[in-house]
Amino acid sequence: MTKPSDALIISYLKSEKQQEKGYSMLMERFGKSIYNQIYRFTNSHQDTDDVFQNTLVKVFKGISSFEEKSALYSWIYRIAYNETMTFLKQKSRYSEVRSEFGQHKDTRDISYDSPNPQYIMGVLQDAVKSLPERQRLVFELRYFNEMSYNDISNMLDTTVGALKASYHIAVKKIEKYITNLKIVDHEY
C-alpha cells in the first residue's frame, strides 16, 4: 500500500466530512516518528503523551492556515519541537531539573565485556543530551530520523553548509563524551 500524499492528507484534514479520515492518515504516516522525536527530548511517556496531544491540537487548529511552503512533516515536526521546548521550559520552572540535560559528568564504567545494548543506547542518549539544543536537534534529525540535509535546512530555515558543520561538531562532541567515560578492564 502506498503512502498517502501530503496534498491528500491536507485536503482531508481541511474538509469537514473527511477530517476523521485525514486524521487517521496523518497518524499512520507521521504519528510514530513525531512521538519518538518528542520522547527523545522528554524521556517520559507521560510527558511525551502530553506534548504529542498538544502538538496534534495545534496541527488541527492550524491546518487551515498551512501554506504548504514546506513538507507536511516539516511543519508538524516544527510544531512538535516548539511544543516540546515550551513544555520543558515550563517543567524546569516548576520543578527541580535533575541532570536531564547532560549537565553532569558520567561516571559509569564501561566493561570490555560485551555491554548490554540498552546500556550502549543509554550512553548514546546521555551523550546526545549533553549537546547544546541546536546541535542536538540537528543530530537527532539527521542520525535518528535519517532526514536529508535539504529537508532539515527547509525545516530549520538555515543553510545546508551550516547544518553539516553543526552535525560534524555534534558528532565530535559525542565521540569525546563517549571516550571520556571510564573504561574498566576486568582482566586485571
Q: Residues 109-128: pLDDT tens digits?
A: 444 455 567 777 778 888 88
Verify that 131 and 68 share a domain, yes or no: no
Single residue among 65, 94, 123 that ends a domain in this structure = 94
Residue 1 located in a structural domain: no
113 and 63 both lie in a single domain: no
Residue 99 counted as domain residue: no
Q: Are residues 113 and 148 in the same domain?
A: yes
Domain range for 41? 6-94
Cα–Cα dist 102/104, whole Å: 5
pLDDT, position 104: 43
CA dihedral of residues 1, 62, 48, 172 (deg, nearest 10): 80
Residues 82, 138, single domain; the answer is no
- Find the mean pLDDT for residues 61-68: 88
CATH value at residue 131: 1.10.10.10
Mean model confidence pLDDT for the chain: 80
Number of structural domains found in the chain: 2
pLDDT greater at residue 105 or residue 6: 6
Q: 89 burial class (0-12, 13-18, 19+ CB within 10 angstroms)?
A: exposed
Q: Which residues pair with 183 in a beta bridge?
A: 110
Q: Is the pLDDT assigned to residue 14 strictly greater than 80?
A: yes
- Read off the C-alpha cell for 2: 502506498
Q: Report the CATH number that the domain containing residue 47 is assigned in CATH.
A: 1.10.1740.10
Q: pTM (2 decimals)?
A: 0.62
Residue 31 has pLDDT above 50, yes or no: yes
Q: The C-alpha cell of 127 is what?
A: 551523550
Evaluate whether residue 51 is within a structural domain.
yes
| Judgement on whether residues 74 and 148 belong to the same structural domain of the protein | no
Range in 64-68, 156-160, 177-181 the model is least confident about:
177-181
- Residue 148 lies inside a defined structural domain of this protein: yes
85 and 12 in a single domain? The answer is yes
pLDDT: is 120 or 147 the higher one?
Answer: 147
